[in-house]
Amino acid sequence: MDKQMIKVGLMGFGTVGTGVVRLIQAHQEDLQKQAGFAIKIQKILVKDAAKYRNIPLMDHLVTTDPNELLDDPDIDIIVEVIGGVSPAKEYILGALERGKHIVTANKDLMALHGGEILQKAQENRCDVFYEASVAGGIPILRALVEGFSSDRITKMMGIVNGTTNYILTKMSQEGSNYADVLKEAQSLGYAEANPSSDVEGFDAARKLAILATLGFHVPIKLEHVDVRGISSVNKEDIAYGKQLGYEMKLIGLAQRDKDAIEVSVQPTMVPKSHPLASVNGVYNAVYVHGEAVGETMFYGPGAGELPTAMAVVSDLVTVVKNRKLGVNGHGMIAPYKEQILKDDSQKLSKYFLRIVVADQRGVLAQITQLLANENISLEQVIQQPLNEGAQAEIIMVTHMASKLDMDHVLKHMEQMEIVTEVKSYYHVEGGDKN
């Protein structure tokens, strides 16, 4: 094996895989200077070898047999960008057993089986890097592992799905309906034909599981994330939120109080003064709070061929540098702290409520009393007449309340004769505790 050449097996030759090849070809001199070795794509695993690809001189590298990559002793590193859980998991575990280092962009796999993969990497003294699995070109995972290594992270909050941020931005700026903006996002390629993973919050939830696991050193799985998407958000909610001083964002939150952790993804009213409120379009941003450093925020493009490929190639360079220094595998730290999850009485937030009630005397007093019975007080209230005065719409923002108490309130409201409908309720960022 040429000691001045690192050979790479690339699994997947779609949008991101193509970007990886383009960057390696275009920046070979810079990469060699930075890493100390030339980097060469040795083999590329694809589903269809006959498919046309607009990258010259690559056809002879293409194979449909994964063993041509896994069993090749000259291949030092596997770059996995095929996505999905299976067969990617089997390929990666097989590569680690053979002593090959891993770079992956696979958020699904790392969210579900990251602990097992990191454990296998530790056993075989291999590197596993997955910066591209969260927030595309934003180096947030590297910052958590390296930049915050001497700090104790207490909170991570952010916008980590560009599709939903694009939809909510358009709804806010243009007063458009959710369904109309979704169709536009699909026509522009920002949303898939089946957009459920994005709009129902599952894509963001996978990324939050990865962030929470790395930031808190605790094994957080997808089922530990409270998930609610944006498909029920309407333009009236957003308009009332703006009137009260908020922008609507799909916010991923991972928070630790003492040792108890909560992780959630849900539509959230964010104060217009908060940096996340001005993150628009398909951009992502992650806000991190550490006990020593205080507040920091990472901002940039969350997806796309070259931003994601850049994150992959940056990880690839790190693996090669580690090889030069002889420290491959020493940076792999599986979660080592006990998992303590908050119960609903410990999950605190302000809430936005929008309800339709009978327009008669004493209604607001009854609603206020119901909230008071659960130790919830109001910060802001708007009341608007509906249906020529027969009904009214009440929009409220509460002070801090537990999820348990708010669930009790919502259940009781549905049983009250004066309440026609609970139109919507959302978390509100900021307040007594933040």
Q: Are 95 and 42 members of one domain? A: yes
Strand positions, DSSP E, 152-291:
153-159, 226-227, 246-257, 260-271, 283-290
Count: domains in the chain: 3
What positions carry a catalytic annotation? 207
Mean pLDDT of 365-375: 94
Residue 129 has pLDDT above 80, yes or no: yes
Q: Is the overall model pTM greater than 0.85, yes or no?
A: yes
How far is 396 from 377, CA to CA, in rounded Å?
10
What is the per-residue pLDDT for 3? 59
Does residue 330 lie in a domain region? no
Residue 372 shares a structural domain with residue 294: no
Within-domain flag for 342: no
Measure the CA–CA gap between 255 and 257, rounded to whole angstroms.
Answer: 7
- Choosing from 276, 292, 325, the residue where a domain stops is 325
429, 274 Cβ separation under 8 angstroms: yes
Considering the domain architecture, whether residues 258 and 207 belong to the same structural domain is answered as yes
Q: pLDDT value at position 36?
A: 85
Mean pLDDT computed over 390-399: 95
pLDDT of residue 386: 86
In a domain, 433, yes or no: no
Reported as a single tens digit per residue, the pLDDT across 106-117 is 999 999 998 899
- Alpha-carbon gap, residue 123 to 34, rounded angstroms: 28
Answer whether residue 340 is part of any domain.
Answer: no
* Residue 206 within a domain: yes
Q: Report pLDDT for 193.
A: 87
Is 339 within the bounds of a domain? no
**Are 203 and 288 within one domain?**
yes
Residue 268 included in any domain: yes
| pLDDT at residue 8 greater than cutoff 70 | yes
pLDDT > 50? residue 433 = no
pLDDT at 345: 96
Q: How many residues are present in the chain?
A: 434
Has residue 223 been placed in a domain? yes
Q: Is the pLDDT at 226 greater than 90, yes or no?
A: yes
Burial of 18 per CB tally in 10 Å (0-12, 13-18, 19+): buried
Q: Compute the distance between CA of residue 371 and CA of residue 374 in angstroms, rounded to an integer.
A: 5
In 357-382, which positions are buried (b, 16+ CB within 10 angstroms) versus exposed (e)?
bebeeebbeebeebbeebebeeebee
Residues 21 and 152 in one domain: no
* CATH number for the domain harbouring residue 223: 3.30.360.10
One domain for residues 127 and 147: no
Q: 183-222 pLDDT, tens per residue?
A: 999 998 888 889 999 999 999 999 999 999 999 999 998 9
Tell whether the model's pLDDT for residue 397 goes beyond 50. yes
- φ, ψ of residue 36 to 5 degrees: the values are 90, -5
Please give the residue range of the domain that contains residue 20: 5-136+305-325
What pLDDT score was predicted for residue 434?
38
How high is the mean pLDDT of the chain? Answer: 91
- 267-to-51, 70, 163, 187, 227 alpha-carbon distances in Å: 40, 43, 13, 24, 10
Alpha carbon distance 135, 270 (integer Å)? 20
Looking up tokens 């599981």 gives: 209
pLDDT at 59: 74
SS3 content of the chain, % helix, strand, coil (to 5): 40, 25, 35
Q: Is there a single domain that holds both residue 18 and residue 131?
A: yes
Q: pLDDT band at residue 431, thresholds of 50, 70 and 90?
A: low
Whether residues 44 and 77 share a domain: the answer is: yes
pLDDT digit string (tens) for 274-310? 999 999 998 999 999 999 989 999 998 876 677 888 8
Mean pLDDT across 121-129 = 92
Please tell me whether residues 395 and 423 are part of one structural domain.
Answer: yes
Q: Residue 136 and residue 277: Cα distance in Å, rounded? A: 20
Is there a single domain that holds both residue 318 and residue 255? no
Q: What is the CATH number of the domain that holds 390?
A: 3.30.70.260
Are 290 and 373 found together in one domain? no
CATH at 95? 3.40.50.720
Residues 89 and 224 in one domain: no
Give residue 1's pLDDT: 40
Chain segment 157-172, per-residue pLDDT in tens: 999 999 999 999 999 9
38-74 tens-digit pLDDT: 999 999 999 888 776 767 667 789 999 999 999 999 9
Higher pLDDT, 411 or 430: 411
Element (H, E) at 424: strand 419-428
Pull the structure tokens for residue 192: 């898939």
